[in-house]
Structure 1
Amino acid sequence: MTNIIEVKNLRKEFKSYSSRQGLKGAFRDLLNRQSKIFPAVDDISFTVKQGEMVGYIGENGAGKSTSIKMLTGILTPTSGQVLVNGLNPHKERERFVRSIGVVFGQRSQLWWDIAVQESFRLLKKVYKVSDTDYNEHMDHVIKTLDIEPLLDKPVRKLSLGQRMRCELAAALIHNPPLLFLDEPTIGLDVLVKLKIRQFLKEMNEKYKTTILLTTHDISDIEALCERVVMLDKGKVIYDGALEKLRTHWGEGKQIQFQFANEVIGNQLTFLTEEIDVFWQKGDNANVWTAIVSDKETQMSELISRVVGAHQITDLSVAEISTEEVIRNIYEKGEALSS
C-alpha cells in the first residue's frame, strides 16, 4: 500500500517571551525583551499507509495539536518535510484541502444559525461535489449516523452529541481519502460514542478511508486503531502496534479490593512494602486497586497479606488497562522501540 502521510524530520519552533519583575524591569522589557526559542515538535518522522486507522496520542503539551496543524496546512513547519496525499499541505493548500476531512471536537465547521442541511449544501459548493456524488454518498452517511431528523434544525439548537454527528457528516461530504479527527467524542455519552465508532469502522471498510485519530479517550483508540503513534515533549517515543505495546509494557495485574471499612493508603503500603506494588485509591473510600507484576508468588503474597489484615467484601483481578500502560510510560519518560 502507498503512504498517504509522509513526515520526515518535522520541526516547529515557537518564541516565548518572559517579563522582568518590577517597574524597572518593565521599562527594560520595552527596549529589550527577553525571549527563548522552544520546539513544540522536535524532528519527528513517521508514515501512514492508505487505509490505516492510527491513534495519535500524547499528554497535553506533547505536540499533537501542533503537528496536526502542520499536517493539515494550518501551520508552516520551521523545518522538515510533510507530504499528505502527495501534496505539500501549506504550499498547495487549495488542492490539498479537497483531499482531506477534518473534525475538531471543540471547533465547528457548520454555520451556527442556519439549518444543518444548508451548511451541507454550502460545503458541497465549496468542495465542488456533483449532485450525483453528493446524493449517492451522503444518503449513506446521513442514514448511518441517524441525523435525518436533524437536517432542518439550526446548529445552535442541537445537543453536543447531535452536533458532533453532523460535524462528522460535514467532513465527509467530499468523501476524502484521509480524515483527521481531533477529540471527536469529547463530552459525548456512551451511545453516541458507540455510534460514531461503528460509523468510522464502516467508512474505513467501505472506502478504505485513512483515519488519524487524536484523543485522550483510550477506549476510542482500543475500539478503532491497531497502531498508535505516541508523542512526548515534541518527540515520537513509540510507533507501532497497540497490542505489542500492551504485551511488552503491560505485564501485570490489577487487583481491586473492596474493604468492609475505610482503609488508609499508608496502611496498605506498610503491609506490602516488600512487594513490588503500586496502590491506587478508587472513587469509593473503601475501594483500592493494587497494580502488581504478573507473578503468581507476588499476587498470592499480596492477597494473603491484605486479606489477613483487613475484612474484604469483594475482590477482582484484571489485566492492566491500556490507559495504565500509557500512564506508566509517560511517568518513566523513556523512548520505546517499536
Structure 2
Amino acid sequence: MALIETHGLRKDFVVRRKVGRLRRERHVTAAVHDVDLAIEAGEMVGYIGPNGAGKSTTLKMLTGVLSPSAGEVRVCGLRPVAQRTRLALRIGVVFGQRSQLWWDLPLAESFQLLRHVYRVPAADHAARLRRCRRLLELDEFLDTPVRQLSLGQRMRGEITAALLHAPRILFLDEPTIGLDVVSKQSVRAFLAELGEAGDTTLMLTTHDLADIERLCRRLVVIDHGRVVHDGTLGELHARYESRRRVVAELDVPWDGAAAPSGTSIEAVEADAHRVTFALRGATAGELIAGLAATGALRDVSVLEPDIEDVVARLYAAPAPSHS
C-alpha cells in the first residue's frame, strides 16, 4: 500500500448566490474533483496549481482537517478524519500562515512542550533537535520569544517543530513564502537533505517554482480541482515541447547564412551579434560545433527550459470538463 493513497477524492462546497432582490440559489462547487494519487514512502512530491485550483483543500483532506465529499483516502494506512489523533503522530504539517509554536515563549520552550504533546522520548527529541539546530542554524535565536522572530527564523522553527516526533510524512504548504533569499536557501538546503535521506516523505505546495526544481523529483499539477499532470518535470517539458536554448555571441552581424543545417535547430531571436537558438532533438554540442566552424563564434551559453514558462502554458490550457 502506498503511504498516501486516494481514489476519486472529491470535495464539494455549497455556495449561495443571489438571484433577484430576495432569493438565493444553492450551488455546489467541486473544489477537488476525482483526484487519484499514490505516493510511496520516501518520495518528494511537488503539488502545484494556480490560486483556487484545490491544492490546500487536498492537503486539508489528507491531514484530517476536512472531510471528503466522496472518494477514498488513506494516509499511513489510516483514515485521516476518523483516525485523526493517530494520524497526527505519523505526520508533520507546516502551513505558511498558521503556527504550532507558542508566541510568548522562547523557541526552545516551544520545542520542549511539543516533546510532551507527542510523547517523544527525551533522548530521541534531543538528537533530532541537535540535527535541526545544526542544519537550520537555530542556536542564535533559540532563546528568543517566537513573536520576536523574523519570518525566516520562525519558518525554520516551524519546520523543526514539525519534525521532532519523526513523522513519516511532512506536508508543506508554501514553506518559503515571504522569505528573503538567504532564508529560502537555508530552508531548501535542509529539505533537500531531509528528502535525500529517504526517511521522510515530502509533499510540497508552493507558488515558488524554484522550490520544485530544487526539491521535487515528481510533480503533480492540479487545475480546476483535477490532476492535469502527474510525472517528472522532464516529462512535463517533453509534453509541452520545451526546448533548451543556446545563446551565441558572434564577431559579425547575424544574417542567417551560417545557420546550422537540420530541422531540429532554429534561430528564434536575432539581434545583430547575438543569436538565440532553440534545440529540438539536436544537441547543444552539434550547434556549437557548427557555429565554431564559421569562425565567427565569440561566446556561447546554454539555457535550460524555464519551468515557469511551461507551467504557465499548462495553466493556460482549456479547463477540463467536470462531466
- The two structures, once aligned, show a CA RMSD in angstroms of 2.5
2:294 paired residue number: none
1:178 paired residue number: 169
Please give the alpha-carbon distance, in whole angstroms, between the structure 1 residues aligned to 2:169 and 2:271.
Answer: 53
Whether contact under 8 Å (2:192, 2:215) holds in the other structure is yes
2:71 paired residue number: 80
Distance 1:143 1:252, change over 3 A: closer
| Deviation at residue 79 of structure 1 after TM alignment | 0.6
Whether contact under 8 Å (1:250, 1:320) holds in the other structure is no
Aligned letter for 1:118? E
| Deviation at residue 121 of structure 1 after TM alignment | 1.2
Whether contact under 8 Å (2:43, 2:198) holds in the other structure is no
- Structure 1 residue 249 and structure 2 residue 240: aligned? yes
| Deviation at residue 333 of structure 1 after TM alignment | 3.0
| Deviation at residue 191 of structure 1 after TM alignment | 1.6
| Deviation at residue 206 of structure 1 after TM alignment | 3.0
| Stretches of structure 1 lacking an aligned partner (at least 5 in a row) | 257-293, 308-314
- Secondary structure of the residue aligned to 1:132 is helix
1:166 paired residue number: 157
Please give the alpha-carbon distance, in whole angstroms, between the structure 1 residues aligned to 2:217 and 2:111.
Answer: 32
| Stretches of structure 2 lacking an aligned partner (at least 5 in a row) | 248-262, 275-299
After TM superposition, where is structure 1 displaced by more than 6 Å over at least 4 residues in a row? Answer: 304-307
Q: Which residue of 70, 73, 92 maps to 1:101?
A: 92
Please give the alpha-carbon distance, in whole angstroms, between the structure 1 residues aligned to 2:131 and 2:265.
Answer: 52
Aligned letter for 2:163? L
2:251 paired residue number: none
- Secondary structure of the residue aligned to 1:303 is strand
1:330 paired residue number: 315
Give deviations 1:101-152, integer Å, cap 9, x for gaps. Answer: 0001111111111111111111111111011111121111112111012111
TM-score by length of 1: 0.78
Please give the alpha-carbon distance, in whole angstroms, between the structure 1 residues aligned to 2:244 and 2:319.
Answer: 22
2:199 paired residue number: 208
Aligned letter for 1:35? R
Give percent identity, aligned residues only.
Answer: 46
Give deviations 1:6-61, integer Å, cap 9, x for gaps. Answer: 0110000000011245xxx2xx33xxx31100100001101100000000000001
Distance 1:297 1:254, change over 3 A: closer
- Which stretch of the first structure deviates more once superposed, 240-249 or 33-42? 240-249
Give deviations 1:254-287, integer Å, cap 9, x for gaps. Answer: 699xxxxxxxxxxxxxxxxxxxxxxxxxxxxxxx
- Secondary structure of the residue aligned to 2:189 is helix
| Deviation at residue 207 of structure 1 after TM alignment | 5.1
Matches within 5 A, 1:21-170: 21=20, 25=21, 28-29=22-23, 33-170=24-161
Aligned letter for 1:303? A
Aligned letter for 1:193? K
Instruction: Name the one with the larger helix percent.
Output: 1
| Deviation at residue 197 of structure 1 after TM alignment | 1.3
- Structure 1 residue 296 and structure 2 residue 265: aligned? yes
